[in-house]
Amino acid sequence: MLLLRCPLPLLLLLLLPLDSRPQKLPTRDEELFQMQIRDKAFFHDSSVIPDGAEISSYLFRDTPKRYFFVVEEDNTPLAVTVTPCDAPLEWKLSVQELPEEASGEGSGDPEPLEQQKQQITNEEGTELFSYKGNDVEYFVSSSSPSGLYQLDLLSTEKDTHFKVYATTTPESDQPYPELPYDPRIDVTSLGRTTVTLAWKPSPTASLLRQPIQYCIVINKEHNFKSLCAVEAKLSSDDAFMMAPKPGLDFSPFDFAHFGFPADNNSGKERGFLKSSKFGRQTSPKPRVDLHRVCIGNKNIFTVSDLKPDTQYYFDMFAVNTNTNMSTAYVGTFARTKEEAKQKTVELKDGKVTDVFIKRKGAKFLRFAPVSSHQKVTFSVHSCLDAVQIQVRRDGKLLLSQSMEGVRQFQLRGKAKAKYLIRLKGSKKGASMLKILATTRPNKQSFPSLPEDTRIKAFDKLRTCSSVTVAWLGTQERNKFCIYKREVDDDYNEEQKKREQNQCLGPDTRKKSEKVLCKYFHSQNIQKAVTTETIRGLQPGKSYLLDVYVIGHGGHSVKYQSKLVKTRKFC
């Protein structure tokens, strides 16, 4: 236990009179820490990060903020998590050596606070990690050096909230619920006004027996990466997004909006809000079209009172009610059934449309170009299993075939023609697709793919710490990113199949799983193959490899996953 559990050590260094003898930062006292963390006023306007507690704070645009904590001994485990709420953040973690001595004068007279603080922070530390974006990002180290750690944060887009969590006991703390091996939300039933969702329980609840409850978020715009982002969106039009008053950066104001009681009774247990109405009541204002409901520890739920023929995005968050901290499942989307009379979806020229089809169901789309055209192109990306596609022009059948992955169909145009597209789902389960229709031949949202999207592993090149793989490219220059994830030895093809949603891009992966990204193409299609050696693996371990190709429009497609295993003995 070496990270600063409470601000006392650093405050003592900054505030107490300095003498000529070296001062050692005291070790943490768990009972003292628990007492102080219950006293919310202890951290008002503090620049100190407590160990094992998540703090909520506020950034003004273009105004950096710095936090500190101390690690007293070398080889200490360390984990730092930063959660942006409603705007991307730039943050950096650095460390510098602790001062061996304080003031050398030995006068016994206290120095001004700013002068003492300057003695510690006047030198630039060694940068350990930096990040820019709106993902929940982590710094994890199994062996960190002693020193004074600095966390610098900046928001360049707008005033925003954020959360920070740091601990020196990541293995035992585990405040964030763990996700199951299949973290997706399944749509098990679809109606005109209802959608039934199911998901695998968190191992934190099923194995560790910790109190977990699940919270579902429903909206019509997009999926969310954190519950913090949901809270910010829900409260963007009320007092939650107002700048906090000086001295209230970490206060009952924040606790009320992040699931803690807003009163000053520190003895009460912190509880998670079960209502979608947060914090202080303000004058009625138009609310965003976003809803949250917490359902306890059930892992199946039916969302009702939805609008027919409307696409909704569903996010699931596992919340540890002891720590009030949450982890996001992989969100999904679904379109409710149409009214009794089938409604045809209108496609707009050059715009990607998401399509959801229930098991054995069908969906009709219509494309009516506004100008004369020589050719029309339909680009279809089937996220899961194969689907049937039919295209008719003014009633005449032009195309009928089964397809999977990404396909492009170019058909001859005709003045004032209207196209009717029929998509039939798989017999195995629900289907998700992305489709683009255009009369502009250069409008290409999906990256081009080779006919074979398998990843090949070279068995003879396997070692105890590396594997070598290859995959095909095309004549079009695209960006390729490869990711790895360690899996159990009993990981099988059935489990791998559950993760084959090709529409889930690299933004759904952890940054620690990223191996590299590179651009690649070849004018000679016979030579359009690239190889990579993935190093730093553990002996005798199994890994799941994924390659994503990212097109010029930013749309990504995943190749078929590859299961590899390093040699156990070399």
Instruction: Quickly list DSSP for 397-456.
Output: EEEEEEEEEEEEEEEE--TT--EEEEEE--SSS-EEEEEEEES-TT---SPP--S--PPE
3-state SS class at 302: strand
Q: pTM of the entire structure?
A: 0.44
Identify which of 221, 250, 236, 231 has the alpha carbon closest to the alpha carbon of residue 84.
Answer: 231
12 backbone dihedrals φ, ψ, rounded to 5°: -60, -45
3-state SS class at 519: strand
What is the rounded distance in angstroms from the CA atom of residue 210 to the CA atom of residue 417? 61
Residues in the chain: 570
Contact 236, 288 (CB under 8 A): yes
What is the rounded distance in angstroms from the CA atom of residue 482 to the CA atom of residue 548? 6
195 backbone dihedrals φ, ψ, rounded to 5°: -140, 125
Return the DSSP state at 539.
T
pLDDT number for residue 381: 86
Identify which of 258, 437, 262 has the alpha carbon closest to the alpha carbon of residue 353.
Answer: 437
Superfamily of domain 176-238+288-340: Immunoglobulins (2.60.40.10)
Token duo for residue 565: 């295993």
What is the rounded distance in angstroms from the CA atom of residue 52 to the CA atom of residue 44? 17
pLDDT number for residue 38: 47
Location of structure tokens 């505030």: 15
Identify which of 306, 327, 345, 326 has the alpha carbon closest to the alpha carbon of residue 197.
Answer: 306
Contacts of 279 (CB under 8 A, 6+ apart): 235, 238, 239, 240, 253, 256, 257, 262
Tell me: the pLDDT tens digits for 54-107? Answer: 888 889 999 999 998 888 888 989 999 999 988 899 999 999 887 665 434 444
What is the rounded distance in angstroms from the CA atom of residue 397 to the CA atom of residue 392? 4
Report residue 504 CA to chain centroid gap: 12
Residue type, 530: T
Residue type, 180: P
Would you list the DSSP string of 233-294? Answer: HHTTTSGGGSPPPTT-SSSHHHHHHTTS--SS-TTSPP----SS--SS--S--PPPSEEEEE
pLDDT number for residue 352: 86
Q: Which residues of the chain have pLDDT under 50?
A: 1-30, 32-45, 102-117, 237-286
Contact 204, 314 (CB under 8 A): no
List the CATH code of the domain at 53-98+125-173. 2.60.120.680
pLDDT number for residue 121: 52
Token duo for residue 418: 């209207």
Pairing of strands 300-303, 195-199: antiparallel
Identify which of 315, 345, 311, 339 has the alpha carbon closest to the alpha carbon of residue 328.
Answer: 315
Location of structure tokens 């889930």: 504
pLDDT number for residue 374: 82
Residue type, 183: P
CATH 2.60.40.10 domain range(s) in the chain: 176-238+288-340, 455-565
SS3 content of the chain, % helix, strand, coil (to 5): 15, 40, 50
SS (H, E, C) 475-509: CCCEEEEEEEEEECCCCCHHHHHHCCCCCCCHHHC
3-state SS class at 40: helix
Identify which of 170, 171, 203, 197 has the alpha carbon closest to the alpha carbon of residue 184.
Answer: 197
Pairing of strands 300-303, 137-144: unpaired
CATH 2.60.120.680 domain range(s) in the chain: 53-98+125-173, 345-438
What is the rounded distance in angstroms from the CA atom of residue 347 to the CA atom of residue 422? 13
Contact 298, 214 (CB under 8 A): yes
3-state SS class at 513: helix
Contacts 24+ apart (CB under 8 A), 21-29: 21/101, 22/100, 22/101, 22/102, 23/101, 23/102, 24/72, 25/70, 25/72, 25/98, 27/1, 27/2, 27/72, 28/1, 28/2, 28/3, 28/4, 29/5
Return the DSSP state at 527.
G
Helices then strands, counting H and E runs in the chain, come out as 8, 31
Options 2.60.40.10, 3.40.50.150, 3.30.470.20, 3.40.50.12640; CATH of 455-565: 2.60.40.10
Helix H or strand E segment including 548: strand 542-550
Options 2.40.10.340, 3.40.50.300, 2.40.40.20, 2.60.120.680; CATH of 345-438: 2.60.120.680
